[in-house]
Amino acid sequence: MAINKNSFAFTVYLGGLGILPPLSIDMGLPALSSIATSLHTTPGMSALTLSLFLAGFAVAPIVGGPCADRFGRRPVLLCGCLLFALAAIACTFAPTIEILLAFRLIQGIGAGAAAVLSMVVVRDLFEGNEARARLSYVSILRSLGPMIAPTIGAWLLTFSNWRWIYGLLAFAGVVLLIVTERGFAESAKHDRVPFTLSALKASYAEVISHRVSFGYAAVNALVFGGMFAYVSNSPLLMIQSFGLSNQMFGYLFAGTAMGIMLGAFVNGKLSERNIAHTKPLFAGLLLACIATTVNVALTLLGLAAPWTLLPCLFLYTFSAGLIASNCTHGCLHPMPRIAGVASAVLTFTQMVVGAVSSAIVAFLYNGSALAMTGIMAAFIYSAAAVYFLCVRPAEKKC
């Protein structure tokens, strides 16, 4: 029996698909040294379990999105969950680092296919403010992953070894596979798009040339570029430069992650009250611009410290929670026939911009907070410029 699309269980199911990547990445963080010791390799090789998973996750939407437009959402979701579960089982029993790395790549592909389609399913089944509200609530569940995953991984390591982490991921994959097979009915109602090279080129060109759809993808990517600057640089800045303990940094990071959840919750409630999406978008961009400007000023004045930067870091993540679901809906809504391709563009641009942001911050970092705060400001001001100069004018003409 199919799960009722309006039920809380359906939202939890979509959130479960979306939470696979952060669980798969962050649960393994405490186990990297244990993996290196157990498999007689170097810490650098064990760290590749994260890199290869991310590589698979980045590639999956490019293929999975068009496949979902051609064959339907259900077959691709089933294949993604199956790949994820089988790869996690193989990782659990991997005898060498080479085998572990190979299956982590496959696991990333499976997680990427499942996670990207959770947004597409919302586009298929809901319209307007209802879609934005549902995307916000799914985002809240997805945001739980980075908060709880390292704790779960560390807890498992206290009474077992690193293989139990992948065993738990395999169990999650099997559960989602069963729920998809038993409870998910095909959501795509449009005519199927041919799966040919010319059709793929035409579909991607249609999304990229659409000022509203691609514009929202760009705004989303730039906002998260600012977020990735914080995520990638904050451990070095807060622990090495500012002297926070690992535990205290964990509390700080979890607190700012709560900002995303709170922002998504507020956006969901506003959408349920039929508040136009432009209002939370405008508010989110304005608040984020103010937050980054204040933190840059604090840095230039020599006042940067964890407790002075934290309020505006929280304000930034809260703003990202307000913005993200509206950008996702804005990107997918104009493309009902090729929502899978639009979702692939949305995800891929976010990954690319996030990687570029992280690289720039790493290159510029010299022990000061300016690399992080400055790059965050540059990205959010760029996002605001794209929205107000390109997306909003084009949206008014539609």
CATH of domain 8-192: 1.20.1250.20
Cα separation, 102 vs 109, whole angstroms: 11
Cα separation, 398 vs 395, whole angstroms: 5
Q: Answer yes or no: same fold for 8-192 and 206-397.
A: yes
Q: What is the pLDDT of residue 283?
A: 94
SS3 state of residue 58:
helix
Mean pLDDT of 9-16: 89
CATH 3.10.180.10 fits 206-397, yes or no: no
Q: What is the pLDDT of residue 286?
A: 96
CB 337 within 8 A of CB 69: yes
Q: What is the pLDDT of residue 356?
A: 86
Q: What is the pLDDT of residue 92?
A: 95
**Residue 139 or 380, more confident:** 380
Is the pLDDT at 51 greater than 80, yes or no?
no
Q: pTM for this one?
A: 0.83
Is the pLDDT at 101 greater than 90, yes or no?
yes
Alpha helices in 126-245 (DSSP H): 128-159, 163-183, 197-209, 211-235
pLDDT band at 163 (very low <50, low <70, confident <90, very high): very high
Is the pLDDT at 191 greater than 70, yes or no?
no
SS3 state of residue 43:
helix
The residue ranges of every structural domain in the chain are 8-192, 206-397
Is the pLDDT at 43 greater than 80, yes or no?
no
CB 133 within 8 A of CB 268: yes
Q: What is the pLDDT of residue 308?
A: 94
Is the pLDDT at 331 greater than 70, yes or no?
yes
pLDDT band at 125 (very low <50, low <70, confident <90, very high): confident
Q: What is the pLDDT of residue 73?
A: 86
Mean pLDDT of 234-244: 81
